[in-house]
Amino acid sequence: MDLESLELVWSKEYKLPLVPQHNNPWIYCAYIIEIMRRHDLLIHPECLMAYYRKCTVKPGLVNRWPGSGGVTSHDELIGLASVMGPKQCLEVLNYLDRNFGYYNNIQPKPKSIKEFFRYNLYRMPYLRSYLSARSNRIVFPLGFFFFCALVLIDCLFGKDSGGHLRVWIMLTHLSKKHWTAKILFKIFDTVLNVRQITLNKCLGDELPMLKIKGKENWRRVT
């Protein structure tokens, strides 16, 4: 990794790779931290915890940036769940369950049914499965089915670099503990390689300012 390009995505205030020039700090931070780990560059956990606390509106309801940054999206929660520990992931999961999937840090209580469904993250059922797994909770068969469907549809038919990266970061973390995720990750890796879709290309599409030297594989085989 080019350390000069790392400075371009670095937040000196929070000492994290939050990519300040964009409005997706949690998910981009998750991508970059994983690449940093591959190059033996580590993040201080206390920096992540401090940032989480500053972004927290109430337990489980989290802003993009301290002070807001707009409505927190599902991809931001994927990023959050990828860099935070089980306790923080469980806080988000419990908040979602208490509010039947409604998640809006700007307007915590929906003013209409239309607003309730617009900001309801249970429209992406795989998100709850990921949060459950990262919280060390049981993932029920139906939730696992939805997650498998997401992985297969994305690797077979997906054309969006951001979509590939979201699946990649989830599989990266889940495959460390779950053998089923390891199998899915092998399928994902194999199919994307056949389609000639590389991690370098997807990262370049999403984060062109980040210069990575050498080829990065989807799976880090050790």
Q: Domain limits at 130?
A: 3-206
Quote the strand ranges of the chain, DSSP E.
56-58, 61-62
pLDDT (0 to 100) of residue 143: 92
Transcribe 38-62 into DSSP letters: HTT----HHHHHHHHHHHEEETTEE
How many of the other CB atoms lie within 10 Å of CB of 159?
9
Q: Quick check: is 216 in a domain?
A: no
Q: Quick check: is 222 in a domain?
A: no
pLDDT (0 to 100) of residue 207: 93
pLDDT (0 to 100) of residue 214: 79
Q: Quick check: is 219 in a domain?
A: no
**What are phi and psi for residue 163, nearest 5 degrees?**
-65, -45
Domains in the chain, number = 1
Q: Quick check: is 218 in a domain?
A: no
Q: Quick check: is 214 in a domain?
A: no
Q: Quick check: is 211 in a domain?
A: no
* Of 173, 168, 174, nearest in space to 201 by CA: 168
Q: Quick check: is 221 in a domain?
A: no
What is the pLDDT tens value at each position of the chain, 222 positions in all?
Answer: 565 678 889 999 999 999 998 999 999 999 999 999 988 888 889 999 999 999 999 999 999 999 989 999 999 999 999 999 999 999 999 999 999 999 999 999 999 999 999 999 999 999 999 999 999 999 999 999 999 999 999 999 999 999 999 999 999 999 999 999 999 999 999 999 999 999 999 999 999 988 887 789 999 755
Q: Quick check: is 165 in a domain?
A: yes
Question: Terminus-to-terminus CA distance in the chain, angstroms?
Answer: 19
Tokens of 91: 């806080």
Query: Taking CA 25 as the corner, what is the angle to CA 147 and CA 151, rounded to the nearest 5 degrees?
Result: 15
